[in-house]
Structures are given as structure tokens and as C-alpha cells.
Structure 1
Amino acid sequence: MTPKKDAKKDARAPGKGDRLAEYRSRRDAGRTPEPVPEERALPHGDDDTFVVQEHHASSLHWDLRFERDGVLVSWAVPKGLPWSPETNHLAVHTEDHPLEYATFEGDIPRGEYGGGAVHIWDRGTYETEKWSEREVKVVLHGSRVSGRYVLFRTRGRNWMIHRMDPPADPGAEPLPESLPPMRASERSRLPRDGTAWAFEFAWDGRRLLAYVEGGRARFTGDGGRAADGPARLGSRLGAALGARPALLDGEVAVLEGRETYLIFDVLHLDGRPLLDVPYRERRETLDGLGLSGPLWQTAPWYPGEGGAVREAARARDLPGVVAKRLDSRYEPGGESDAWRLVPSRRR
């Protein structure tokens, strides 16, 4: 590894101008809570601090910033830092930020540049292996991200970021490209041993699986083929999960006059497939995600309360209930007796 003090010989010279001029020109210190230092001699640190901020602006992205020559040299990374060397992510070089920004968290007012919530996603120290106008190689030491990364310029402000080390979590698995949903078998009666089952409402909606990664979501339908979700659902649901990759199962139904994605299962989370995990544990994991928003809701489930759920479904004029065995695994693409669709009205 090249010592840091030698690598600085390749660094971009700070120049005689005000390196924060562009930053100041975009911000009104009277309107934004962001630090806007006055024009003066820049403070100098040890050139070894980095921060990653999750920025819920018009589109979710992550801001990667390195302390360098008295400022924070910055890139906006729309999909976050890659966890594996198999994938490169776009990184857009942005204006230098003041050192004080390394501790900034807060809400930038709507209408201001970069309006939206900013949270610190990770921070720590870094070592420089190379720093030039076209390539930056660093070793990160954070609490959530660590390892060797390289940023390389492609065109204009557009760069790419590549992980040079093996995957941070060797056991992590990517989301599947497509997964046909599990289907319930039709029955006329509720299961006899209600304590072994949980019960959900049948919403009579459109089945939709959501593949959420890097703050975005794509969808597949009944047959596992690509499908469209309600307008803006993908970006908003992606923002709700942030950097956590997840595969969700649910259906789009009309509630109070609005299309709503009702989520009733989680099949993959944080690099771990959950198909073989019992239904009860999957539902508890899903509840723990706290997914509730303007276009989506976590659907309720009721262990051992089949009769009451069926009566409630009848009162709400819903078509029925779905009984699911508490110990059942998820069976993609198949109709299973572990899930049973029971009409709300007795035939």
C-alpha cells in the first residue's frame, strides 16, 4: 500500500480560489440548517475522515464525502456503495462541502437546493492509495462499510464506484431476478385447528411482488413477469427501505378510493433468502420493518382468529380470508394447501 503522505502528491491542488464558492452560491444561510461558513481561511484536518449521508431529496441517494485539503470532496451515489465487486454504481461528482458538513443531519427546506431529510448512514476514517483527477483509491474503515474502493471518472461529473475487495458479507445473496408468487388453494371452510394458523383478509386485488434495492423498486406480477405498480410507488417504497434490499409480496387494492400496496410477506431481506423460514417468523420480520406510507401498508394478520376475521371480512364486503399455517414455508409458483382461501360467506 502506498503511504498516505506519498499518495497526496497525486492530489488535486486546492488552488488559490475559494473551493466552497459553488457550495455557498447554492445555499441561503437564512433558510437552510446546513452549515454555510463565511468566506475565510479554510480549516484543515487530518485528511482521513469520510462520511456517507442518506439524502431523501427529490430522489433518494447517498452522498459520499472525503475530507481532503480543507473541504469534503463529494459524490452523490444514487444506489449506494456496492457491497460486491460484481457491480459498479454510478457516482456523480458534486461541489465540495465544508468540513462541518461531516456531522450534519437535518431537514433541508423544500424549495431549497437538495431539499429533503439528511441522515448520517455511516462515517469513519479512510486511507488514500491514489488520488488524481480521474481516479481515487481508498480504504474505508466505517461501522457499516469497510474495504478497498476505487472511484474512476467516466465522463464529465459522472464517475463509477467499484468495490475492490471480496463482498463485505460473503454469505449475502442478491435478490432474485423474478419469483412467481405462492398461491392459496380454495376451501369452503376454515381449518379445524385454528391455533396452528393465522388469518388475513383477502383483498381481491392485483398480486404484486416488489424487489427493493438501492432506494428503488421494481415489480413482477402473478406469473413472475415484469409489471407496473401504482404511480410513484417504486421510488417512495424504495426510500422507505433505504439501503436495505428486500423482496416483498402483496397486492394492490383500492382502499378509501386510492390504490394501496398491501404487503403481507417478506421473502428476502438484507442478503438473506427467507423462503424456508416459517410464516410466523416472516410476518414478525415484516412487522419489524414498520412499512406504512401514503401508497403502501403492512396488511394485518391474526393468529388463531379465523372466525372473527371471516365475520369482519363479511362486514367489510371483502371476498374472504386467507388462512396460512404458522409453520409453513413459502412455495414459489405453486398452489399450496398451507395457504387456504376461504370465502367470507358460507356457500
Structure 2
Amino acid sequence: MAARKKDGARPGGADPLAEYRSKRDHRRTPEPVPADGPLPRGDDDTFVVQEHHARSLHWDLRLERGGVLVSWAVPKGIPTAPDADRLAVRTEDHPLDYAAFHGEIPRGEYGAGTMTIWDRGVYETEKWSDREVKVVLHGSRVSGRYALFRTRGENWMIHRMDPPADPDAEPLPEAPRPMPAAERARLPRDQDAYGFEFDWGGRRLLASIEGGRTRFTDARGRAVAGPAGLGGPLGRAVGARPVLLDGELARVDGRETYLIFDVLHLDGRPLLDLPYERRRRALDGLRLTGPRWQTAPWFPGDGDAVLAAAREQGLPGVLAKRLDSPYRPGEDNDAWRRIPVR
């Protein structure tokens, strides 16, 4: 990154926004494309992080400096702990107006996709050189001391220098095992104590999602490749939140679909000890519905109707899950029951 004079110009008088303008046509994109001319003067203290759903999901960190927004694309998001350095790719400088931009960049244009403001605030500069930048960010979602250091070419790394933003946060488990259901011939008598789901007859898959990237494990806790076209879009739909989902891959209306029926870990907090009913309501709150995935429905206290609907739809059975049951990975117990359609 070339050093800048106070007015934002590069050595030799080069226009710092020339590359930005060359990649955009103001008649085709809603992004701000300022005319050539003197750069505005700011206080070099504004930052913004934008979530960019482009060809691949990433987060753009932009720091106001010398009349432009110096920018890095961070594929896995801003780290929240000092033990998780992440790649940050230096991109072209952006105009200051871009700090307020959100919207849809049309297909066929550079950076096509949805841009939203993930966080913004002010920052202080501790060091700024061609190879290293140290700043203190003050935002609503990200705060603390960060260092960006150049590794090779346009590749940099971003490192959190402060202790973890959430000291109690726990990482996603490496090899999660799903909770099995016991086979039973009949519905439970006390149906009001249970939630009921359809058994779709699919393949059990757990999805660990972090930094917009998805990793699948099977019923034995082994890492497996997910179906083509599922992991990437699902990760982009979840975004920056770390989450562990339980579900099954089944055919619905002739299309292979990931049906999600439980959430086991969310935002650094394991949910295994929460009752099933609270986990299901937390899952519903995530609103995970897409072209290849959906949150499976559940029905508290109405097993007879669910079983009749499963029979009518040609499904193999239903699952009865106690509303107060915790999640016990790999552990057989009677809290979850599978009842086949007869």
C-alpha cells in the first residue's frame, strides 16, 4: 500500500480513486462514483465493515485515510479472538461516500451482489505504514485493537491484539455426533409433553458454519462433502454467526433439500442443555429458508395429526421429541422416539 500525502494523493500526484472509477459505470451501478477532482478532507477516523454477498461471501473493512476509504476484503470476517488471524486482501481505495452504501450491485457489474452495512464507527490510528496498520476500532459489533500486516502482494492478515471480545465464547465442536431416536411402535400417550416432526427418510447431516463457510459431518461425526451447491449458499445465508445445525438431506418435491430440525451451538454458546422446545424456537428465529434448505416444521402436542399427514404424504414415519429434553450427542435414550407409519 503506497504512502499517501495528507490530501490523499499518491506519490507523483496519481488519483487514488482511478482504479475504483475504472471498474464502475455510474449509469449501471448504484454505488457512489464521484467525478474526478479534489478529495474531501475528513478526520481519518471513520471505519465501516460491509457484508458483501458477491460471488463468494466476504466482509469489506474500510478505514478512512487521506480522503478515501482504504479497503481490505476479509473472507472469513473480522476475528474476535487473538488466536484466529485471518486473510485480508487489499482492494482498491473507495470514495468516502461508500461508508454509507448498501444495496444491490447489478449482475454483470464488478462486485455484483448484495452489500449491507455490518458495522461502522470511529477508529484511532496507532501505526500506519506500507506494511503494517494498527488501529483501535469503536463499533457496535466489533471493538478493540487490531493489526493488519502485509504478507505477500495484496495479501495481508488481520490480527486482534486485545483479548477475546467474548471471553466466555466456546468454539464449535470438531466432530459432533447427532442424537439418535429410539424405535417405538406407537405414539407416546402424553402427547402434550412432546413436539412432533416428520421423518423424511433422508441422510443425517450436521452443518458447522463459521465465517460464512460450511463443514458437514455425518451420523458418526466424520467430515463429509456436502451436496454440490448447498454448503456455500447455506453459509452465505447464515453470514458471520457461528452455528451448528442438525438436519437431514432428503428429497422434497423432487429436489434434494437439507431439512434443519435443531440448533446445537449459536454465537459461541452451546445449546445442548437447553430443552428441545427452546432450541426449536431459537432455530425458528434464524429463519433459515432457501432454495436447497429449509427449517423443518414441528408441531407441539399433536402427534396423531402429524402421523396421519405423514401417512398421506408417503413419508416413512414421525419423530416424537420431549419438549423438555436436552440434546445428548450419540446417546440412546427414550426422550426422542421414531414411530414408523404403518
What range describes the TM-score normalised by the shorter chain of this pair? Answer: over 0.9
Deviations along 1:61-92, one digit per CA (max 9) or x if unpaired, are 00000000010000000000001001100000
Matched with 1:259 is 256
Identity across matched positions, percent = 72
1:293 aligns with 2:296: no
Corresponding residue for 1:227? 224
1:68 aligns with 2:65: yes
The answer to whether the 8 Å contact 1:10/1:130 transfers is no
Distance 1:331 1:18 in 2: 60
CA contact (8 A) 1:11 1:132 kept: no
Q: Deviations over 1:129-154 (max 9, x none)?
A: 00000000000000000000000000
- Residue aligning to 1:29: 26
Match runs of 1:274-293 below 5 Å: 274-293=271-290
Cα deviation code 1:284-326 (max 9, x no counterpart): 0000000000010000000000000000000111110000000
- 1:25 and 1:316 mapped to 2: Cα distance? 56
Alpha-carbon deviations, 1:251-305, whole Å to 9, x = none? 0001111110000000000010000000000000000000000010000000000
Out of 83, 100, 125, the position equivalent to 1:103 is 100
Aligned residue for 2:300?
A: 303
Distance 1:286 1:14 in 2: 50
Distance 1:105 1:44 in 2: 23
Distance 1:191 1:52 in 2: 51
Aligned partner of 2:157 in structure 1 is 160
Quote the Cα distance in structure 2 between the aligned partners of 1:45 and 1:178: 49
What's the CA shift for 1:11?
12
Offset of residue 9 of structure 1: 9.4
Alpha-carbon separation, structure 1, partners of 2:225 and 2:316: 24
TM-score, normalised to structure 2, is: 0.97
Note if contact 1:196-1:325 (Cα within 8 Å) is conserved in structure 2.
Answer: yes
Q: Where does residue 42 of structure 1 map in the other structure?
A: 39
Residue 10 of structure 1 and its aligned partner are, at CA, apart by 11
Other-structure match for 2:242: 245
Inter-partner Cα distance in structure 2 for 1:331 and 1:170: 25
1:14 aligned partner, one-letter code:
R
Q: Give 1:177 deviation, angstroms.
A: 0.8
- TM-score, with structure 1 as normaliser: 0.96
Q: Structure 1 residue 234: deviation in Å?
A: 1.0
Q: For 1:69 and 1:325, locate their aligned partners in 2 and report how far apart those are by CA, in whole Å.
A: 60
Q: Secondary structure at the match of 1:183?
A: coil
Q: The residue matched to 2:335 in structure 1 has which SS?
A: strand
- Say whether 1:344 aligns with 2:341: yes
> Partner amino acid for 2:123?
Y
1:5 match: none
Contact 1:20–1:96 (CA under 8 A) maintained in structure 2: yes
Amino acid at match of 2:259: L
In structure 1, how many angstroms separate the alpha carbons of the residues matched to 2:274 and 2:106?
43
What do you get for the CA RMSD once the two structures are aligned?
1.4
SS in 2 for 1:126: strand
**For 1:95, what is the secondary structure of its paired residue?**
strand
Aligned partner (choices 78, 81, 98) of residue 81 of structure 1: 78
Residue 11 to residue 261, structure 1, CA distance change in 2 (3 Å): farther
Q: Given the alignment, which residue of 10, 14, 28 partners 2:10?
A: 14
Aligned partner letter, 2:45: D
**Once structures 1 and 2 are overlaid, which stretch shifts more, 294-303 or 221-230?**
221-230
For residue 181 of structure 2, give the secondary structure of its aligned residue in structure 1. strand
Looking at structure 1, the residues matched to 205 and 78 of structure 2 have their Cα atoms a distance apart, in angstroms, of: 28
Partner of 1:4: none
Report what 1:178 is aligned to. Answer: 175
Deviation at 1:14, TM superposition (A): 3.1
Code of the residue aligned with 2:240 in structure 1: it is A
Cα distance in 1 for residues equivalent to 2:252 and 2:196: 19
Matched, 1:150 2:163: no
Q: Alignment length, in residue pairs?
A: 338
- 322, 328, 333: which one aligns with 1:331: 328
